[in-house]
Amino acid sequence: MAFGRRLARHAGAASLDVTTGVIWQQLLLLCVPIFFSSFFQQAHALINTFILGQFGGKLALGGVQATASLFELAVGFSVGLGAGCAVISGQFFGSHDDERLSRSIHTAMALALVLGLTVSIAGALFIPQILTIMGTPDDLMPEAVPYSRCYALGMVFSLTLNMGSALLRSVGDTRTPALIIASGCVINAILDIIFVAVLHLEAMGCGIATATTLFINASLIVRRLTRAQGAWRLDVRRLGFDSRICRSMVATGLPLAIQSSVYSISNIILQSTVNTFGSDAVTGWGLSGRLDAIIWMVTEALGVSVTTFAAQNFGARNYDRMRRGYHTSLLITVVLIGSLSAVLVTFVGQLSRLFIDDPAVTAYTTTMIHFIAPFYVFYSIVDNTSGAIRGSGESLRPMLLTILGTVVFRVIWLLVIVPMHHAVETMLMVYPVTWILSAILFVSYHHWGHWLNHAERRAERLETATATQSSRREVEL
């Protein structure tokens, strides 16, 4: 009961300081809103899938699924960069450095705006060529191209939304992004019904609904930041780049962004491999990604929570508490992921038929889940461990470990092993092998690496540089 009352009290708070208090409770206080934020994001995707499957048909659904890995690349880059920026902001929040916290907020949002416009313009111009290079089946192209163009034009709003959400979470406000995403899910459902079920725009209607929802959500995030009661309040007139903080954010965020992008590139190669098995396999692959969404929701929520927890405590120089937070988060996520994976394996066939009653698609979906679901727990270990490390601002070496353990071997497997034995089962084996390898690498680095020493030296250099910069400004004034 005491924890329940505490959860209710913090639900209305604008921020949460996790440098003191009971660790497992604070992780859950951070985690629960993040989980529901992810839940509503996935609900948005599931609603799209259901409406397209019921009113747009198999080709419209397949056209959207064929582009999933492409937009994961763009979104993954923005989320990774936002996470890096949020780590720096979270450290300033933990050390109660209001001046640098404010400068970090304005630098991060300016960065999101510039990159978002660039991605939107480039994406809209080159979508057909990219889908062709990916080997998208010809029968899916008429649906995939217009959907992708609409989504690409909304990427500027996606980057703004993800950056703003990450910054709010860095100061412990995980509730606001969850509420905004929840409202966006309702809006998107209504727009999907209008554009797909009523106006019969099929995949393009789904793209219009998605871009419009991203615009609304990004506007709400910016509005929340401009009304924040604290040093993290956003003043649009002060948008700009603090050179020292920007370099630190890019140094922390760029490896995370590259890691997400390279991982997404390997997913694009994987999608290209899936495409060689035909439209039913493409649709089944996309549907399996919807059905295991709750697994990724829990993993992401705890990964983000432990990153925020580690960043604030690193800023407060409370290193022992960082380690205890990691071990607590790891225990929670292993229990939850293991349980959810067992449930998914048991009921995958019935769940698949809820979305589209097609025996071939259901068969592919069931096979895919049965091959990879028993190994989700290893990926959850990777996500928690990397989150605990990157909370200190150390992101370069975790990026290298991820690329080695997950990306390099995956690409070799897809380009060398699969062509030798062209079967769906051969393709799917890449997941358990790479996840287990990555888990071993990350746990070893967390326990025996010198990541904390690297992070301490980086933080000291940033503190010295920004203090010097502030002194110069005072002299100029």
Q: Which pLDDT score, from 0 to 100, does residue 378 have?
A: 92
Q: Which pLDDT score, from 0 to 100, does residue 79 have?
A: 78
Give residue limits of the domains in the chain. 6-11+22-469
The backbone torsions φ and ψ at residue 140, rounded to the nearest 5 degrees and listed phi first, read -100, -15
Q: Which long-range contacts (CB under 8 A, 24 or more apart) does 275-279 make?
A: 275/66, 275/134, 275/135, 275/136, 275/137, 276/135, 276/422, 277/364, 277/424, 278/137, 279/58, 279/59, 279/62, 279/137, 279/139, 279/140
Residues ≥6 apart with Cβ < 8 Å to 37: 165, 174, 177, 178, 181, 182, 301
Residue 1 DSSP SS3: coil
Cα 173 to Cα 60: distance, rounded to the nearest angstrom? 38
Cα 7 to Cα 2: distance, rounded to the nearest angstrom? 9
Q: Which pLDDT score, from 0 to 100, does residue 220 have?
A: 93
Q: Does the predicted TM-score (pTM) go above 0.75?
A: no
The backbone torsions φ and ψ at residue 134, rounded to the nearest 5 degrees and listed phi first, read -70, -10
* Low-confidence residues of the chain: pLDDT under 50: 1-13, 475-477
